[in-house]
Amino acid sequence: MEAARLSSTKPVQALKPKKTVSFEEDPMTKVSDALPLPLYLTNAVFFTLFFSVVYFLLSSWREKIRTSTPLHVVNSSEIVAILAFFASCIYLMAFFGIDFVQSLVFRPSPDVWISDDEEENEVLLCKEDARKVPCGQALDCSLPPLPAQAPIVSSQKVFDEKAVTVLTEEDEEIIKSVVAGTTPSYSLESKLGDCQRAAAIRREALQRLTGKSLAGLPLEGLDYESILGQCCEMPIGYVQIPVGIAGPLLLNGREFSVPMATTEGCLVASTNRGCKAIHLSGGATSVLLKDGMTRAPVVRFSTAKRAADLKLYLEEPNNFETLSLVFNRSSRFGRLQGIKCAIAGKNLYMRFTCSTGDAMGMNMVSKGVQNVLDFLQTDFPDMDVLGISGNFCSDKKPAAVNWIEGRGKSVVCEAIIKGDVVKKVLKTSVESLVELNMLKNLTGSAMAGVLGGFNAHASNIVSAVYIATGQDPAQNVESSHCITMMEAVNDGKDLHVSVTMPSIEVGTVGGGTQLASQSACLNLLGVKGASKEVPGANSRTLATIVAGAVLAGELSLMSALAAGQLVKSHMKYNRSNKDVSKASS
């Protein structure tokens, strides 16, 4: 929070909230609650008034026609009736009509800011004037002004429509104390016991501290309880990422609709085309080669000799049984598979590998490793544990150890794409694909000195599927390690294509997988939660789906490149007709 204050480009005093309440949604609170009279009462009065005066005016009009009196001759009670008619019309129009019409035109942001900068205020006020919202007494007249910066997009609408949380006087006090630094922002959840309210207050305080509007970053629509202590600290909202669907991917005889969360145009369409080519050719097959998450602590001794002593102890098969008993105590699912050691002088790196059921397994393996380190301390009291992770694991960094040894799930996935599918669906030829794969994915990557990057764009598919299914997107680094192979088969008629991915780190329990939207995507794939039959079956299936989707993505992008279509299709899917310069102004 302190950092946020320091980084603010304007002094805090330069901006002040226009009102003491902000209008974020609380499903239980309505803006109309703040009105002096209940809405049903004023509605009833004006409805009755409207129908009474209409009845009265029509009767007197009929009477005038009958007695041949000119219609424009009105007595005092008729004048009162006409005035009452207009008053009720204005009320009813405002209540039922104008809001509807306004909602068709645009929805303003819920953020309420006015700047001390006169010029800026003028702009804001002009925009407000242009809206000219006529409002009757019963209306919510407090429609907030347009945001100073963010353009209004339709995807925001659903949240802004519901943005009616009224921050109470008490909340206002808390906001002030957060702004003043007397209440730490991180403590709001524990102090209030209400995660949604904590997020709303933090967001409001942040806007005041920074002087920046958060219009466009939705607050409503996320279950803040579900992320507490698990997924994200100090939330102020969430980022929306569209989810597209590629498939069906025919893999090991089953069809999967693959959800992909991305903002890169073309990606889903391209993967979808790859799925089509695979499907028309009879499907892909994938094999799980290995399944083990790793963690490698670093320990230090006073001599290299002592470090080597521990290495030999750990590699002695007789000791493995004892160590795995100690390790496995940490979880019903974590099962030690092996320990690989590397020495650097008097420092020892011990890479523990274990199966983790349906969890991606980082927590699980870390707990098991901690058990073993505690156990080893008895026989090796001079062992100095420097860190439970010594980077020989290796998590979220490109590393040869993962490429060679594997981490998480190691999967190979293959398909034979028929020659006519290559021609009709992928719009290229088997020869061109084989040649391009050799020169780009193999030779080109060797020339660039890549580590695990012998592919066209595995990380595109991995990231999109990871985000959609609640995986840790940072593990895209090693999970995208992939070598794509292409070969002409069946006398050169057909294409054999494969992807080999040694480090797919996925889980279907824990982390972000339990959040509502991510869980829905896992459900779509039929791998939600823990597998009832065989622990780990869901996460292993998910790993094969990731590899299958990568295979589809590789096929399609390589074909686009071979056919020289890449730029053309990107111009079609990545560039809408919108004038980008206008959109951002």
Residue ranges binding ligand ADP (CB under 6 A)? 331-333, 356-364, 507, 509-511, 530-531, 535
Q: Which CB sits closer to ligand ADP, 396 or 440? A: 396
CA atoms within 13 A on the CB side of 384: 8
Using DSSP bridges, classify how beta strands 408-417 and 494-504 pair: parallel, antiparallel or unpaired: antiparallel
Q: In what helix (H) or strand (E) does residue 416 lie, and over which residues does it extend? A: strand 408-417
Check if the beta carbon of residue 307 is closer than 8 Å to that of residue 346.
Answer: yes
Q: Which CB sits closer to ligand ADP, 110 or 361? A: 361
Q: Annotated catalytic, 264?
A: yes
Check if the beta carbon of residue 284 is closer than 8 Å to that of residue 414.
Answer: yes
Tell me the closest approach of the beta carbon of residue 30 to ligand ADP, in angstroms.
39
Instruction: Name the packing angle between helices 537-562 and 267-280 (round to 10°).
Output: 100
Query: 62 exposed, middle or buried (CB, 10 Å; 0-12, 13-18, 19+)?
Result: exposed
Map tokens 């009162």 to a residue: 80
Annotated catalytic residue, options 340, 346, 367, 396: 396
Number of C-beta neighbours around residue 253 at 10 A: 8
The β-bridge partners of 299 are: 348, 385
Annotated catalytic residue, options 264, 309, 414, 435: 264
Q: Which CB sits closer to ligand ADP, 200 or 362? A: 362
Tell me the closest approach of the beta carbon of residue 512 to ligand ADP, in angstroms.
10
Structure tokens of 488?
């002409």
Tell me the closest approach of the beta carbon of residue 333 to ligand ADP, in angstroms.
4
Q: Which CB sits closer to ligand ADP, 211 or 361? A: 361
Query: 415 exposed, middle or buried (CB, 10 Å; 0-12, 13-18, 19+)?
Result: buried
Q: Which CB sits closer to ligand ADP, 163 or 362? A: 362
Q: Which CB sits closer to ligand ADP, 284 or 362? A: 362
Contacts of 86 (CB under 8 A, 6+ apart): none
Check the CA dihedral 76-81-86-91 and report its sign: positive
Tell me the closest approach of the beta carbon of residue 187 to ligand ADP, in angstroms.
24
Using DSSP bridges, classify how beta strands 347-355 and 384-387 pair: parallel, antiparallel or unpaired: unpaired
Contacts of 343 (CB under 8 A, 6+ apart): 304, 307, 308, 311, 349
Tell me the closest approach of the beta carbon of residue 561 to ligand ADP, in angstroms.
36
Tell me the closest approach of the beta carbon of residue 233 to ligand ADP, in angstroms.
16
Q: Annotated catalytic, 290?
A: no
Check if the beta carbon of residue 295 is closer than 8 Å to that of residue 365.
Answer: yes
Annotated catalytic residue, options 472, 478, 505, 554: 472
Q: Which CB sits closer to ligand ADP, 362 or 521? A: 362
Tell me the closest approach of the beta carbon of residue 294 to ligand ADP, in angstroms.
12
Eight-class DSSP state of 9: S
Check if the beta carbon of residue 539 is closer than 8 Å to that of residue 360.
Answer: yes
Q: Which residue is nearest to ligand ADP (CB)?
A: 357
Which positions are catalytic?
264, 396, 472, 570
